[in-house]
A and B are shown apart, each in its own frame.
Chain A
C-alpha cells in the first residue's frame, strides 16, 4: 500500500468544483510536484491529503504514518519569538528532546542568531522559513509542502531543497506544489498538472516535456514555461 493515495477526489465549495475527480498515488521516497494555474486546486488537493479538508467524493488513504503539512499561508504565532514558536510545536509534537530539534531547525533555516526576535518583525521570506521549519519538526512518512519556496532567496531555496531531497532519500514521500516550472522539473520526480480542478497530466518531467511538445508544437522551441502555457491553452485553460 502506498504511503499516500487519493482516488477520484471531488471537492466543491458551494457550486464551484475545486477538484473534479483527481487521483494521485505516491510511493515512499517519491517527490511529486503539483503544478497548475492559480485556482487550479493545488492547495485544495494538498489540504485534503493533509486531512484538513474532507473530500465530497472519492477516497484518501495514508498508511498510518503521520502526514506533515506546510501550508501556503504561514501558520505560526507572530507575537512569539522564532525560538518560542519552534519550541511550542516541538513540544506539541511530543519530541523527546524538543530543544535539540529546535536547534536543528534554527541551523537549517539559518535563523539561529535571530532566535529571540518576534516573528512579526521578520521579513516575509524569513517568516516562511520558520513556517517550513515548523512543518519539518515532525518527521512524517509523508510531507506536503504548499508552494514552499515562495519568498525564499535563492540560497535559502537551495537549502530547502537540499534538506527535502535528503528526507526523500531516506524514504519520506514528498508532495509539493509550485508555480516554478523549473523547480517542478528539477525536484519533482513526478509532475501532476492540475487546471480548474481537473488532472491534465501525471507523469515524469521528461514525459511532460513530450506531452507539451505534442500538444503545442508551434511553441515547443520556446522556453519550457511558455510552451507549458501554450499547452494549457490548447487544453482549454
Chain B
C-alpha cells in the first residue's frame, strides 16, 4: 500500500499538468448538469391524465338560488392535458400505478351537491380526487402545478358567488333581521340594536339590570352561533374545492432539490468514471502497467489507488458544486455529513465501474469515449419517469439502470439533500453491492487483459 500514495501523487501531478483535461473534466459535467437541470424543470408538454367524471349529467352548480352557467369541466381540463377517459376508479388507479398516465382526476358523484351546499348553513367540503404516482419529483411537481391551476380557476368562480352569500349572513349579525332556517323564521337582533338597548338601559342599571342583560346575553349567544356557522363558510371562500390527493406510490422531495441531486450525480458520475477509467487506461497507454505490477504495486493496489483518486476528485468537485448551488437554493447545511456519506458511497461505486471500464481498455481516448457512451445513456434512462414510456419498457429500464451506480447514486444524493422521500439506507446498500461487484469485475478484467 506504500506505492498507492506515490501513484496517487503521480496521478494528481498528471492531472494538474493537463489543465485543459482537468477543466474539461470538471466543466463538461457541470455544463451537462446545468442543462439537465433546465430540461428537467420544464417538463414535457402535454401530460396524460386519466379522467373520471362521476357527477350525474345535467347537475348544475347552484349558489344562493342562482345557477351558474354550466361548468364545462371536461373541456376545460382536457384543453390543458391529454385526457384519457376511464370508466371506473379501479381503471384510473391501475393506469396511474402502471405509469400509463401521470395522474388520475376523479370528480365524485356528490361534487356538485357539495358545491351547492357551500352557500347554505351546513356547507360540505367539495372534493376532487387526484391519484398520482410520486416516484419521481419531476412528475409530482408537474401534476401539482396542473391541478393547482385548474382548481384555482374553478375556485375563483365559486368563491365569487359564495362571497356574496357570506356577506349576507354577516350583515344579519351586524344589522339584525329575519333569518330563515329549516322552515322557521328567527328574528335576529343584530349588533346595532344590541348597542342601542345597552345604551338605553345604562342609566337605570341597578334595578332593571336583569331583563336587559338577559336580552344582551341572548344576542351574544345568537351572535356566537351565527358566527360559528359563518366561519366554515368563510373558510370555504379561500378554497371552495379541496383536493384529496392520494399518493399511490413513491414520495418525492421538492423539484429544486431533485434537480440539484441530478446535477450533482451527473457531475460525480462523469468526473469519477472518466477519471478512473482514463487514468487506468493511461497506465497501459504509457506501458507503465507491466512495470508497476512486477512487484512495485499489486493489481489490487493499483485499482485501490484509482478508486481513491476518483473518490477524492469526485468528492471535491461535487461538494464544490453543491456549495455553489446554495447560492440559488437553500440546502440544509446540517445534512452535510449525509452529503459526504452519499457522495462517498456513490463515488466508490462509480469509481469501481470506471475501473472495470478502464481495465479493459488500452487507450485513454477509446476509454473516454466508451465512458461517455455508457454513462450518458444510463444517466438519461435513470431519469425517465414511469408514464413517459410503456410499462414493459419502463420495467426494462428499471432493471438496466439498477445495474449501474447512477440511479442508486442519484437516490442516495437526493435522500442526503432532503428528508422528504425515501431514506438513505437502501441506496447505500445498493451502491455497496455495485461497488464490490464492479471491483471484482475490474480485478478480473485487469488479469484477463493486462497479461500477455
Interfacial residues, chain A to chain B (CB-CB below 8 A): 44, 47, 50-54, 66-67, 69, 71, 73-80, 84, 88-89, 91-94, 118, 134
Contacts and interface: CB of A to CB of B under 8 A. Distances in A.
A175 to B, nearest CB: 15
Contacts of B7: 88, 92
B374 interface: no
15 contacts: A53-B452, A69-B291, A73-B287, A75-B286, A76-B288, A77-B14, A77-B288, A78-B286, A79-B13, A80-B10, A88-B6, A88-B10, A92-B296, A93-B296, A94-B2
Interface in B11-55: 13-14, 17-18
B294 A50 contact: yes
Contacts of A75: 286-288, 290-291
B290 A52 contact: yes
Contact of A52 (B6, B9, B18, B451): B451
Given A80-B10, A91-B6, A94-B2, A51 B294 contact: yes
A94 B288 CA distance: 17
B297 interface: yes
A138 to B, nearest CB: 9
Given A76-B286, A88-B10, A89-B291, 10 more contacts: A51-B294, A53-B451, A67-B294, A75-B288, A75-B291, A77-B288, A79-B14, A88-B6, A93-B296, A134-B291
B290 A80 contact: no
A69 B294 contact: yes
A79 B296 CA distance: 20
A53 B294 CA distance: 11
B13 A71 contact: no
B6 A92 contact: yes
B295 interface: yes
Nearest to B10: A88
A52 B294 contact: yes
B362 to A, nearest CB: 12
Decide if the interface of chain A is mainly helix, strand, loop or mixed.
loop
Contacts of B397: none
Contacts of B288: 75-77
B291 A80 contact: no
Given A53-B451, A77-B288, A84 B294 contact: no
Residue among B2, B17, B451 with the highest chain A CB neighbour number at 10 A: B17
Contacts of B3: 91-92
Given A92-B292, A94-B2, A54 B451 contact: yes
Nearest to B295: A66
Contacts of A118: 17
Contacts of A69: 290-291, 294
A84 B13 contact: yes
Contact of A71 (B2, B287, B295): B287
Contacts of A80: 10, 13-14, 17
Interface in B280-336: 286-288, 290-292, 294-297
A71 B296 contact: no
Contacts of B452: 44, 47, 52-53
Nearest to B11: A77
Interface residues of B, number: 22
Contacts of A76: 286-288
A132 B291 CA distance: 12
A37 B201 CA distance: 132
Nearest to B289: A75
A53 B451 CA distance: 6
A71 B17 contact: no
A54 B290 CA distance: 13
A39 to B, nearest CB: 15
Q: What are the 9 A-B residue pairs with the smallest beta carbon separation, nearest first? A: A75-B287, A53-B452, A92-B296, A75-B291, A52-B290, A91-B6, A79-B14, A79-B17, A73-B287
A71 B294 CA distance: 12
A79 B57 CA distance: 79
Contacts of B294: 50-52, 67, 69
A89 B296 CA distance: 8
Contact of A74 (B10, B13, B287): B287
A213 B425 CA distance: 80
B287 A84 contact: no
Contacts of A52: 290, 294, 451-452
Interface string B426-452: 000000000000000000000000011
Nearest to A18: B452
Residue among A74, A77, A84, A89 with the highest chain B CB neighbour number at 10 A: A77
A71 B290 contact: yes
A44 B452 CA distance: 9
B377 to A, nearest CB: 31
B175 to A, nearest CB: 90
A119 to B, nearest CB: 10
Given A50-B294, A66-B295, A92-B297, A77 B287 contact: no
A67 B291 CA distance: 11
A125 B63 CA distance: 97
Contacts of A93: 296
Contacts of B295: 66
B297 A77 contact: no
A66 B18 CA distance: 35
A74 B285 CA distance: 10
A210 to B, nearest CB: 35
Contacts of B451: 52-54
Contacts of A51: 294
A220 B263 CA distance: 76
A77 B286 contact: yes
B291 A71 contact: yes
Residue among B9, B10, B451 with the highest chain A CB neighbour number at 10 A: B10
Contact of B10 (A47, A67, A71, A84): A84
Nearest to A88: B10
A80 B17 CA distance: 8
A88 B7 CA distance: 8
Interface string B263-278: 0000000000000000
Contacts of B291: 69, 71, 75, 89, 134
Nearest to A134: B291
A28 B7 CA distance: 33
